[in-house]
């Protein structure tokens, strides 16, 4: 009789027919024992808290983490040597360390961002010159000479951007946003930072200017594996900076580990090769190059970290996974493998949250989705 026959359970299949998954499954299983889900960290790997905290609230990137994560890290770090954030962004690590009188160094490739973060250590305010109403940002910029005033205009322009780097149609006028930032900065200067830390505009992939074993710990979040070029997303407020400092425009360093050069393919981790081969199989050669270049750069960066960190230095690195055209890339566990190869000991992998709500079957693994993970390790 129809309907009386017992139906076989429906099992979700890998979305790409013939996709090889063995190497990525292997790296996932290799770190399973040290991987723990900690939902209390979900807010700390976002910039939500930075919007209300002094100094951090000047310029907030969606990709930043919370100042509270820095405070949590410092409970586990020996601050006899500087703490390093090699992907400093708006300076969350460096500024929060300064609030607690802890020496720190930040490396940031975007000149406009490095300038604004450095301005947070200026303690002398100057009166704002008279600026006529209804001016666009270039005309306002022509009236500004003080670094704090210029930082306010850069931050004001940034606050008006969408996630794609375009001006939000519903954003306040640049004059209104600028006036608001000026008042915020003046208020924060009444609570000066305890020490002056250093932010260097440079390429984190080559910190040759940092001495051997001179760093006491690292807290950072590299740009996530993404199809987006961060330099394009920040171009609108970089233009403000270059209005005053055009000579540096030609020396702008790429803001994303995915450099616009031919990949060197120095990292031959089997899970990376498998993901890249799968992308090539579905005619996504550009994304395959993105994956290869991203991990080439991460491998190169880890080599430098091992040189500059003192023995036993703690390192917390916030890593985001990805799914490109349904090709799953476990960036956190691959990063852990690369770090182990370079001589680091992985203490724990704390998963803060999923980046995609819906998981799926991946080979023999169930309910897999890209995630945001804090890889906690130390130099042996």
d(CA 103, CA 198): 8
**Does 149 score more than 80 pLDDT?**
yes
Distance (Å, rounded) from C-alpha 344 to C-alpha 340? 5
Are 373 and 350 spatial neighbours (Cβ–Cβ below 8 Å)? Answer: yes
Cβ-Cβ contacts under 8 Å for 285 (sequence gap 6 or more): 279
Whether residue 2 has pLDDT greater than 70? no
CA distance 65 to 44: 6
Residue 68: predicted pLDDT:
96
Provide the β-strand partners of residue 378. 314, 345
Q: Evaluate whether 190 touches 124 at the Cβ level (below 8 Å).
A: no
Band (291; pLDDT cuts 50, 70, 90)? very high
Delimit the domains of the chain by residue range: 10-36+258-369, 46-220+223-256
Q: Degrees (nearest 5) of the Cα angle 271, 273, 203? A: 95
At 163 the pLDDT is 78
- Under a CB-based contact definition with an 8 Å cutoff, are residues 86 and 61 in contact? no
pLDDT interval class at 61 (50, 70, 90): confident
Sign of the CA dihedral running 349, 319, 370, 279: negative
| pLDDT recorded at residue 11 | 39
Average of pLDDT values for 30-49?
A: 94
- Of 40-44, 114-118, 203-207, 227-231, least confident by mean pLDDT is 227-231
- The confidence score (pLDDT) of residue 247 equals 63
The predicted pLDDT at position 226 comes to 81
DSSP for residue 84: E
pLDDT at 7: 42
Which pLDDT value is given to residue 228?
A: 65
pLDDT band at 132 (very low <50, low <70, confident <90, very high): confident
Burial class (CB in 10 A: 0-12, 13-18, 19+), 262: exposed
Band the pLDDT of 137: cuts 50, 70, 90: very high
Whole-number average pLDDT of the chain: 89
pLDDT in tens, 71-84: 999 998 877 899 99
Pairing of the two strands 322-324 and 327-329: antiparallel
Closest by CA to 315, choosing from 207, 223, 217, is 217
Segment 292-320 mean pLDDT: 96
Higher pLDDT: 18 or 175? It is: 175
Using 50, 70 and 90 to split pLDDT, how confident is the model at 176?
A: very high
SS3 content of the chain, % helix, strand, coil (to 5): 40, 15, 45
Q: In the prediction, which pLDDT does 53 show?
A: 95
Alpha-carbon span 266 to 172, nearest angstrom: 47
Question: In whole angstroms, how far apart are CA 370 and each of 85, 226, 322, 328?
Answer: 24, 12, 5, 7
- Residue 248 has a pLDDT of 53
Tokens 């976002």 locate to 46
What does the pLDDT read at residue 15? Answer: 66
Least confident interval from 156-160, 179-183, 248-252, 372-376:
248-252
CB within 8 Å of 246: residues ≥ 6 apart: none
Q: What is the pLDDT of residue 264?
A: 58
Residue 9: pLDDT above 90? no
pLDDT at 77: 86
Contact assessment for residue 36 and residue 349, using Cβ atoms and an 8 Å cutoff: yes
CB 286 within 8 A of CB 260: no
For 376, phi then psi, to 5°, come to: -105, 125
User: In the chain, at which residue ranges do the beta strands (DSSP E only) sit?
Assistant: 35-37, 83-85, 104-107, 198-200, 217-220, 314-320, 322-324, 327-329, 344-354, 360-362, 365-368, 371-379
What pLDDT is stored for residue 232 in this prediction? 76
Q: What is the pLDDT of residues 236-280, one digit of tens each?
A: 899 999 999 986 544 444 434 444 445 456 788 999 999 999 999
Whether residue 102 is predicted with pLDDT greater than 60 in this model: the reply is: yes
More confident residue, 94 or 258: 94
Q: Taking residues 174-179, report their average pLDDT.
A: 94
């Amino acid at each position: 009789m129809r309907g009386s026959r017992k139906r076989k359970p429906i099992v979700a299949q890998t979305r790409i027919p013939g996709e090889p998954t063995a190497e990525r499954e292997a790296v996932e299983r290799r770190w399973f024992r040290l991987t723990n889900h900690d939902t209390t960290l979900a807010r700390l790997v976002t910039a939500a808290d930075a919007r209300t905290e002094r100094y951090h609230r000047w310029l907030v990137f969606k990709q930043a983490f919370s100042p509270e994560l820095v405070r949590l890290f410092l409970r586990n770090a020996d601050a006899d040597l500087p703490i390093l954030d090699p992907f400093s962004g708006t300076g969350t690590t460096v500024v929060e360390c300064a609030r607690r009188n802890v020496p720190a160094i930040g490396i940031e490739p975007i000149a406009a961002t490095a300038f604004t973060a450095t301005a947070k250590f200026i303690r002398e305010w100057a009166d704002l010159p008279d600026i006529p109403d209804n001016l666009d940002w270039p005309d306002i910029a022509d009236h500004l000479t003080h670094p704090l005033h210029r930082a306010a205009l850069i931050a004001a322009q940034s606050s008006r951007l969408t996630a794609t780097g375009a001006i939000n149609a519903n954003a306040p006028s640049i004059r209104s946003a600028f006036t608001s930032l000026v008042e915020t900065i003046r208020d924060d200067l009444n609570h000066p930072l305890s020490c002056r830390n250093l932010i260097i505009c440079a390429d984190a992939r080559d910190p040759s200017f940092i001495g051997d074993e001179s760093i006491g710990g690292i807290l950072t979040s590299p740009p996530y594996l993404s199809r987006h070029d961060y330099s394009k997303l920040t171009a609108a407020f970089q233009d403000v900076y270059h209005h005053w400092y055009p000579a540096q425009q030609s020396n702008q360093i790429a803001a994303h580990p995915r450099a616009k050069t031919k990949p060197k393919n120095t990292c031959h981790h089997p899970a990376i090769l498998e993901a890249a081969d799968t992308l090539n199989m579905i005619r996504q050669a550009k994304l395959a190059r993105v994956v290869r270049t991203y991990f080439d750069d991460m491998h190169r960066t880890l080599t430098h970290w091992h040189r500059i960190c003192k023995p036993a230095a703690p390192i917390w690195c916030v890593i985001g996974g990805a799914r490109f055209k349904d090709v799953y890339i476990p960036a956190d566990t691959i990063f852990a493998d690369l770090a182990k190869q370079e001589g680091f000991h992985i203490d724990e992998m704390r998963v803060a949250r999923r980046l995609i709500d819906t998981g799926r079957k991946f080979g023999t693994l169930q309910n897999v989705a890209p995630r945001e993970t804090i890889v906690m390790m130390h130099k042996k």
